[in-house]
């Protein structure tokens, strides 16, 4: 059972290592995509009709709404840039922390399906090992019986040789 425990631990370590490598590959892929993403060109703001101060056909309501829309667009752009900068900084910080603390972070969680698969594989290997041990035990018992039979036959041959020599001696004595 010690081999089974070692195999289980080895399998779990291998699963953890594969999971960690997959996470690192995913992180690298995301970083590469972020670097290669085409940078948006700064689009000039949509033209806003200029404020017409004092003109007879000017509509101050439209001018105020246009100015508010312009401010809203600028705020939205500033928010997007701020979010992008925050994500970039967080990504750099995360990458730095990961490289510094690779040895200190806990092993990634392995899904139950992987664990169940590993355990079922280990169980099947254990059953195969038990069957092999039973066959080996049967073979060793058969070998023991064969060796006992061989010993009996060797003793019978030796006894027959002794008897044959005695009979030969008797026949030679009778023949004289």
Domain boundaries, the chain: 59-105
Provide the pLDDT for residue 12. 81
| Phi, psi for 171 (deg, rounded to 5) | -65, -40
Provide the pLDDT for residue 130. 92
Query: pTM above the 0.85 mark?
Result: no
Provide the pLDDT for residue 17. 86
Cα dihedral angle (166, 170, 171, 176), rounded to 10 degrees?
140
Q: How far is CA 37 from the centre of its chain?
A: 30
Provide the pLDDT for residue 100. 58
Digit-by-digit pLDDT tens for the chain (176 residues) are: 577 788 778 778 888 888 888 899 999 888 888 777 665 555 666 666 555 555 545 677 777 888 889 999 999 999 998 888 888 888 777 766 666 555 565 656 667 788 888 888 899 999 999 999 999 999 999 999 999 999 999 999 998 888 888 888 888 888 87
Provide the pLDDT for residue 147. 92
Give Cα separations from 85 to 32, 81, 88, 100 (angstroms): 17, 6, 5, 22
Task: List Cβ neighbours of 62 (8 Å cut-off, separation of 6 or more).
Answer: 49
Which residue is it, tokens 């195969």? 128
């Amino acid at each position: 059972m010690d081999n089974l425990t070692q195999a289980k631990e080895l399998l779990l370590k291998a699963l953890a290592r594969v999971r960690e490598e997959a996470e690192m590959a995913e992180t690298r892929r995301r970083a590469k995509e972020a670097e290669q993403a085409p940078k948006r060109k700064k689009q000039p703001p949509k033209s806003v009709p200029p404020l017409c101060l004092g003109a007879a056909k000017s509509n101050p309501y439209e001018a105020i709404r246009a100015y508010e829309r312009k401010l809203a667009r600028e705020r939205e752009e500033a928010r997007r840039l701020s979010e992008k900068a925050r994500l970039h900084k967080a990504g750099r910080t995360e990458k730095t922390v990961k490289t510094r603390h690779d040895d200190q972070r806990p092993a990634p969680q392995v899904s139950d399906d992987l664990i169940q698969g590993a355990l079922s594989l280990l169980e099947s290997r254990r059953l195969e090992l038990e069957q092999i041990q039973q066959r080996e035990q049967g073979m060793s018992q058969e070998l023991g019986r064969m060796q006992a039979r061989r010993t009996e036959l060797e003793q019978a041959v030796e006894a027959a040789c002794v008897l044959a020599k005695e009979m030969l001696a008797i026949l030679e004595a009778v023949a004289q």
